[in-house]
């Protein structure tokens, strides 16, 4: 039975039998993410002391300016997953296309692909605000031993085998699920070990926090404007408190612990939404549902959306179940 202060390694071994597939490959994959997260954490904590702050001087596939730490984190996660020969393919928010691993090796029997946002919220690094890593794991759908194909990555979120995030904040935490609840592990920097600190994490059904970039309010659809006004109205347990960090991992993590809702709707500036379905929304939606929360695009369950491209964007509403359902109610009224 899992217990607080259990190491992540012990937890993985003890709970391996509850995984849907028990070959040990998924356990090694989680361990490799743990290792890469520790390396990235070490570099994040040196920001300001070494030349790792600021823009890299290039843009990613979305046309966004890459930060130096974006590039560093991307390289470290890809390098760690590749060198350990655990996965057959990787897709990253920072890469134009997916990466096929050992595609020419006839003995490559790896079954998993990983999709990753190596450093979510990296624009906050320069001002010492929490950032994170988001990851998603699927079993490939093409034959084992052959090169991975695009269809291995374009799977519905409901097909995820595991998902998680790392938040690099006042303490560094790795939070993940394999479909049997959500558990959080805090890094002890003195010895470099993650310990179970938040077992069986769950969203409160209701909350008092709403997280949205209100600077975009004028561009939001009317249903979202009405919901925000509802959050601000003085009635019952309202008004709610507005809390927005600008790092999805950080906002999500706070809301899961305290109870709240995260809102990133489509707008007149971003007609399809801004957040990436495969790298951000799907993994966070799986974690939310496993933690008794809910995730939606305002009308449809996130995990039911059929992906059509690697860098697809969608509107994203996620958090405490009752709050998300109330937001959906406002959206439907003004559809």
- Residue 53 — pLDDT band, cuts 50, 70, 90? very low
275 is in an annotated binding site: no
244 is in an annotated binding site: yes
**Is the CB of residue 118 less than 8 Å from the CB of residue 279?**
no
119 is in an annotated binding site: yes
Within this chain, do residues 180 and 312 fall inside the same structural domain, yes or no? no
Give the separation between CA 209 and CA 298, rounded to whole angstroms. 18
294 is in an annotated binding site: no
213 is in an annotated binding site: yes
Q: What pLDDT shows up at residue 59?
A: 52
Percent of the residues in the chain that have a pLDDT greater than 70, as a whole number: 89
121 is in an annotated binding site: yes
Q: What pLDDT shows up at residue 130?
A: 87
What is the rounded end-to-end Cα distance, in angstroms, of the chain? 47
Mean pLDDT, rounded, for 274-294: 98
Within this chain, do residues 32 and 93 fall inside the same structural domain, yes or no? yes
Residue 3 lies in a domain: no
- Whether the predicted pLDDT of 57 surpasses 50: no
Q: Angle formed by the axes of helices 8-15 and 25-44, to 10°?
A: 160
- Whether the predicted pLDDT of 216 surpasses 90: yes
Name the β-bridge partners of 263.
Answer: 317
Q: Angle formed by the axes of helices 282-290 and 248-258, to 10°?
A: 10
Mean pLDDT, rounded, for 190-212: 96
Q: What pLDDT shows up at residue 95?
A: 92
- Residue 62 — pLDDT band, cuts 50, 70, 90? low
Could you tell me the CATH number of the domain that includes residue 238? 3.40.190.80
Q: What pLDDT shows up at residue 126?
A: 74
Q: What pLDDT shows up at residue 19?
A: 65
262 is in an annotated binding site: yes
326 is in an annotated binding site: no
What b/e string do you get for 12-35 counting C-beta neighbours within 10 Å, with b at 16 or more?
beebbeebeeeeebbbebbbbbbb
Percent of the residues in the chain that have a pLDDT greater than 90, as a whole number: 69
Note down the domain range covering 296.
Answer: 209-333
Within this chain, do residues 54 and 190 fall inside the same structural domain, yes or no? yes
Q: What pLDDT shows up at residue 125?
A: 74
Average pLDDT of the chain is 89
Q: How many domains does the chain have?
A: 2
Residues 83-113 have pLDDT tens digits of 888 899 999 999 999 999 874 555 568 899 9
Within this chain, do residues 116 and 228 fall inside the same structural domain, yes or no? no
- Whether the predicted pLDDT of 50 surpasses 70: no
- Whether the predicted pLDDT of 52 surpasses 50: no
227 is in an annotated binding site: no
Within this chain, do residues 172 and 220 fall inside the same structural domain, yes or no? no
Residues 117-167 have pLDDT tens digits of 999 987 777 777 889 999 999 999 999 988 999 999 999 999 999 999 999
pTM over 0.85: yes
Could you tell me the CATH number of the domain that includes residue 38? 3.30.540.10
Greatest C-alpha distance within the chain:
65
Edge-first strand listing for the sheet containing 241-242: 241-242, 209-211, 260-264, 316-320, 293-296
Within this chain, do residues 218 and 191 fall inside the same structural domain, yes or no? no
Give the separation between CA 137 and CA 33, rounded to whole angstroms. 11
Among 167, 198, 229, the domain boundary falls at: 198
Within this chain, do residues 294 and 229 fall inside the same structural domain, yes or no? yes
- Whether the predicted pLDDT of 288 surpasses 90: yes
**Is the CB of residue 173 less than 8 Å from the CB of residue 199?**
no
93 is in an annotated binding site: yes
Six token digits for residue 137: 């794991």
- Which of 22-31, 47-56, 325-334 is predicted most confidently? 325-334
Peptide bond into 191 cis (omega under 30): no
- Whether the predicted pLDDT of 290 surpasses 90: yes
- Residue 54 — pLDDT band, cuts 50, 70, 90? very low
Q: What pLDDT shows up at residue 107?
A: 54
Residue 2 lies in a domain: no
From residue 74, how far is each of 195, 281, 318 by CA, in Å?
25, 19, 26
Q: Which of 257-261, 266-270, 305-309, 326-330 has the lowest mean pLDDT?
A: 266-270
Residues 255-267 have pLDDT tens digits of 999 999 999 999 9
Query: How many other C-beta atoms are found inside a 10 Å radius of the C-beta of residue 302?
Result: 26
């Amino acid at each position: 039975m899992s217990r607080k202060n259990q190491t992540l390694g012990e937890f993985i071994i003890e709970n391996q039998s509850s995984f849907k597939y028990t070959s040990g490959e998924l356990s090694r994959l989680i361990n490799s993410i743990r290792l890469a997260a520790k390396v990235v954490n070490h570099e994040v904590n040196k920001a300001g002391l070494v030349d790792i702050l600021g823009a890299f001087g290039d843009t990613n596939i979305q046309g966004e300016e890459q930060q130096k730490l974006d590039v560093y984190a991307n390289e470290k996660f890809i390098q760690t997953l590749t060198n350990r020969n655990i996965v057959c393919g990787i897709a990253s928010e920072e890469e134009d296309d997916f990466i096929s691993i050992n595609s020419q090796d006839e003995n490559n029997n790896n079954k998993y692909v990983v999709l990753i946002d190596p450093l979510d919220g990296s624009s906050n690094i320069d001002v010492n605000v929490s950032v994170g890593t988001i990851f998603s794991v699927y079993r490939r759908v093409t034959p084992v031993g052959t090169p991975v194909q695009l269809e291995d990555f374009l799977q519905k979120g409901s097909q995820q085998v595991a998902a998680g995030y790392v938040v690099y904040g006042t303490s560094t935490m790795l939070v993940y699920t394999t479909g049997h609840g959500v558990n959080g592990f805090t890094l002890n920097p003195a010895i470099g070990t993650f310990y179970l600190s938040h077992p069986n994490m769950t969203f409160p059904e209701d909350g008092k926090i709403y997280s949205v970039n209100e600077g975009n309010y004028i561009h939001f659809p009317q249903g979202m404007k009405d919901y925000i006004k509802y959050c601000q109205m003085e009635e019952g347990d309202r008004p709610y408190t507005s809390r927005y960090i600008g790092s999805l991992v950080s906002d999500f993590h706070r809301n899961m612990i305290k109870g709240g809702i995260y809102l990133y709707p489509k707008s007149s500036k971003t007609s399809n939404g801004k957040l990436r379905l495969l790298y951000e929304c799907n993994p966070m939606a799986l974690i939310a549902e496993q933690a008794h929360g809910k995730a939606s695009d305002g009308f449809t369950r996130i995990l039911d959306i059929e992906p059509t491209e690697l860098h697809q964007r969608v509107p994203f509403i996620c958090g405490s179940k009752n709050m998300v359902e109330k937001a959906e109610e406002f959206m439907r009224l003004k559809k």
